[in-house]
Structure 1
Amino acid sequence: MQFIHNDLGQLHGGELIEVTLSSQANVKLMDSSNFSSYRQGGRHHYFGGHVTRSPFRLQVPNAGHWHVAVDLGGYSGSIRAGVRVLG
């Protein structure tokens, strides 16, 4: 599966993440363990989901190393995405 990956690094929890999309896509905020499972096509838990409006914001739930993945859920096409930590 193709996806856009953003490694957010170590965060304290409570930060807002803003994702800007060129079209609708799946946005998944995951810790390192779940991101590893996602990359390997395994079961994973995430925050976010199918996003139809941009920008999209979500809050980091707790301290840890966090990743954002953006994908089209197996559909063909292309997407551009920007991710930033608002604080």
Structure 2
Amino acid sequence: MNFLHNDLGLLSGGEVVEVSLDHAANVRLMDAGNFQSYRQGRHHRYFGGEARQSPVRLQVPQSGHWHVAIDLGGRAVTVRAGVRVLS
């Protein structure tokens, strides 16, 4: 599976993650355990989904170690993305 990955490290609940995309893609905000399941192709839970407009803002639901994965659902194109945590 091809995807872009950003390890956001430890974040506090309520912080906002902003993802800028050059075209539509799937954006998933996941805790460490769910990211591991995603990488292994197993069932996982995430916040986000298909993003057709940019930027996408996702609120971190609880404190912990967080990751963002961006994929194209198997489409044969590339995506450029920027990820930042808003203060």
TM-score, with normalisation over the residues of structure 2? 0.98
Give 4+ residue runs of structure 1 displaced > 4 Å after superposition. Answer: none
Q: Which runs of 5+ in 2 are unaligned?
A: none
Q: How many residues end up aligned between the 2 structures? A: 87
Equivalence for 1:83: 83
Question: Which AA in structure 2 matches 1:10?
Answer: L
**CA separation in 2, counterparts of 1:58 and 1:24?**
16
Aligned-pair CA distance for 1:9: 0.2
Equivalence for 2:53: 53
Q: Which runs of 5+ in 1 are unaligned?
A: none
Aligned-pair CA distance for 1:74: 1.2
**Mapping of residues 1-87 of structure 1, within 5 Å:** 1-87=1-87
| Seq. identity, % | 64
Question: Which AA in structure 1 matches 2:65?
Answer: H
**CA separation in 2, counterparts of 1:31 and 1:68?**
9
